[in-house]
Structure 1
């Protein structure tokens, strides 16, 4: 695998120099300041490439911008209202400009309104570090009592509704504000944060859009952009829903293997692929991660490796970001499956035989606790995760080499 590192641009408290010291082989970034639906201009792409390629002292970083995460799909495209057709045209122009700049892998998602959703961005762990957490009861308290969404009561069991009311009553005003800010944090790295009133307004735009309609809108979008991507030699890869279950009455259409299979089959092209996120998909007990890699392997263009610990059975449930090798997912089996897919591609002679992987999220430990980096993207926590994943990969490769030697020795 190729080990890449997400960077949020010059505002990121984790620098390109930090990424280089962590052993990153390439950079994953985006033009977070460009409004959703607008064209990514060649000059802006080139500026970001230069920022990645240089260290603060002006010397070369020996790193390149290799993967886009994310080229956002606007809400207008998802709902097919307003300027959605011009936004699709702009998306294709952005793809043209990225291809001209030599960037070929573009990660995106089709989650309505909110990107990843957590109720606590700095949940204290027993070892003293912090991590991100999704607490289903806290989320219900936000939905029912802070956002006061119409119909919210019907989306939860009576037991959750009762406990959410009790939790909300125990919160002081500061705790309620922190909860609202955590849930409503918007797209990470983006300027598109929103108020509670703004969130409510965006939710209302989905009043008549269920999962079937949103899925069709997704297929419509892919039918437009995938031929452009294929012509340009690009690989689009959709990130799964996070969490992988409905929230705030919104449809979720990229939460399971069946969801992926529908989209990949609907627009069948080498350019239409998947971002395998083991943390997002791993928050559902019915997602078999190694099996998904085996069955979807040819269409996996990018891998996010992180681990979550589910705090209850069933879906939906509370969960938190665990250490990369300590959560519910069998990360050894996941890495082994990815390496097996790489070997299969090499036999086929595919130019994209090596799968780019980044250590996703991470717990805030040591100096991370005072750094103030993007939530979920600490320096040391991700460095630790990358080191652990590298160790797993090395051990698997070494074991395979030893087996080949032992079987060939008379």
Structure 2
């Protein structure tokens, strides 16, 4: 590093303190630039850098200007040239199709060069978050943006893609995903599952964790069947989507599934109670630990009984606002042999009246239970049963008691 006028460490610390941005998510450009001035400045400035402050590029929206894009490349390149290699701490990058980078008046070529150069300067970068807007640069901007992403494909393990609501699919995105051979985690928002995207996802056979938020996931079962290592699947408010084929594919192809979350179905209103392929998931996915289903008309009393009978590995069971679940005496749960010894968290809010005998059965068969949530009932007597075994009602209406020591039963 070059020499610089001597400044005492105490004064340098005061200077660096002023350079730290107020926004905790903001990248510390000024601190990094100053720390590269000389060895003493680096020694003092390194105190203000930790893994967290260097991990995420462009996480703050204030950092997504064209000037900061160029500055990021220059600083990381200088850091590497000096042998400091700050870029090794970077794990995640937020890349946005903004007007600042790809608008009508922006220099697409410079933005492409900057984005494409960053992977070589950040060898541990594995998490890419794409925000695909609709910049004024039009189709040319889209093609330029996807061209800049090619160097990322080889090392990406986690991919988040967020689209503008109901915007058209981006050309070339499927081609990029098809080349992400290390991909294990995907998180898609407002995505439309085109045939090209489905074909690309089929090739990513190592996928383990999947989140679909308000996505049109029609025919998603065609790629789920190619993910035998799937551990977690979360589907939130799927748009105009019939998910029964999805559950059937999960039951047949994903024996290692440990978590399933399904909320606010939009196209399942016609389903009759207890006529859902989620039964097959319970029966076939023996390692399922977390099941969270919200507002599903196909979930009824038989499903609750099946969960208690087949959910041997379940630790968390939530059937919230599933109106067809009956917890009163004489319902299906009374007729089956319970086999859920590891259950710790039970949430049946919005599922109707709760019989005392059901609570007694839970406490008897689920010895590890430490969190229970039922709908509030006037004159209900089951709270007395919970209080007798050290449960305490919180301000949120959830009953809790000390957690039983965790045991690894796999």
TM-score by length of structure 2 reads 0.30
**Structure with the bigger percentage of helix:** 1
User: Relative contact order, CA 8 A, sep 6+: which one is greater?
Assistant: 1
Structure of higher CA gyration radius: 2
TM-score by length of structure 1 reads 0.30
